[in-house]
Amino acid sequence: MKVQHCTVMAVLLSLFLLAGCATTNSASINHEVGAPSRLIVHFDNMQNSDGQLLVFVHDNSSTYYSDDDTNGKDFSAFRFEKVKPVVPVTTVVFEDVPAGRYAVGAVHDEDSDGGLDRMWFPFTGMPSESYGISNDVYSYFSKAPFEKGLIEVRSPETEITINMSTHLKKLMGR
């Protein structure tokens, strides 16, 4: 009976892991190339001008979930910019973005190491640097779902605001 229980648990764990892998897709969700558009993104609530602001535009879930280290050899995003943060609002403009649906994210990389720093203690793995995602979505235990961060970019211009904050502040409603 004990061996059978372990086998069932192993199968369930495998299915859970496979289901997680199936949630990412490297194909663009935009099946047609839209008209060239300007995407203007305002990052509100910048606390300081240290380091750099890493800004990502994603057209697929695969790159959306893997944007933590911009120095990695496998780093990819539909569009990417590094800019100097400006207090209290940093504005980034992307030219010639084909009209369509995208998720926009940013990390205030205060130490300029190319990625999102995370806590060791007391909340192991929780982001310690400010970040933001389009539609101001977040999740308690992982990155917010790609689908919830999607915005519609329309021609000739789309303008959005993303509120930057640490994960702990997001959980506390700030």
At 22, the pLDDT band (50, 70, 90 cuts) reads: very low
pLDDT (0 to 100) of residue 35: 96
Q: What is the sign of the dihedral through the CA atoms of 51, 59, 26 and 147?
A: positive
**pLDDT of res. 16:** 42
Nearest to 133 by CA among 95, 99, 96, 170: 170
Whether the predicted pLDDT of 3 surpasses 50: no
Least confident of 14-18, 87-91, 106-110, 126-130: 14-18
Please state, in angstroms and rounded to a whole number, the distance separating the CA atoms of residues 126 and 53. Answer: 19
85 preceded by a cis bond (ω within 30 of 0): no
pLDDT-above-70 percentage for the chain = 85
Domains and CATH numbers, the chain: 28-171 (2.60.40)
Pairing of strands 52-58, 100-109: antiparallel
R_g over Cα of the chain: 18
Kindly state the average pLDDT of the residues 165-173: 80
CB of 52 closer than 8 Å to CB of 103: no
Res 126 pLDDT > 90: no
Q: pTM for the complete prediction?
A: 0.83
Q: What is the pLDDT of residues 36-73, one digit of tens each?
A: 999 999 999 999 999 999 999 999 999 999 866 899 88
Distance CA 128, CA 173 (A): 16
pLDDT confidence of residue 6:
45
Both tokens assigned to 1 = 């009976």
DSSP string, 145-166: PHHHHEEEE-SSEEEEEEE-B-
Higher-confidence residue of 28 and 8: namely 28
Label residue 141 by pLDDT band (50, 70, 90).
Answer: confident
Q: Residue 4: which pLDDT band, with cuts at 50, 70 and 90?
A: low
pLDDT band at 20 (very low <50, low <70, confident <90, very high): very low
User: Distance between CA atoms of 154 and 56, rounded to whole angstroms?
Assistant: 18
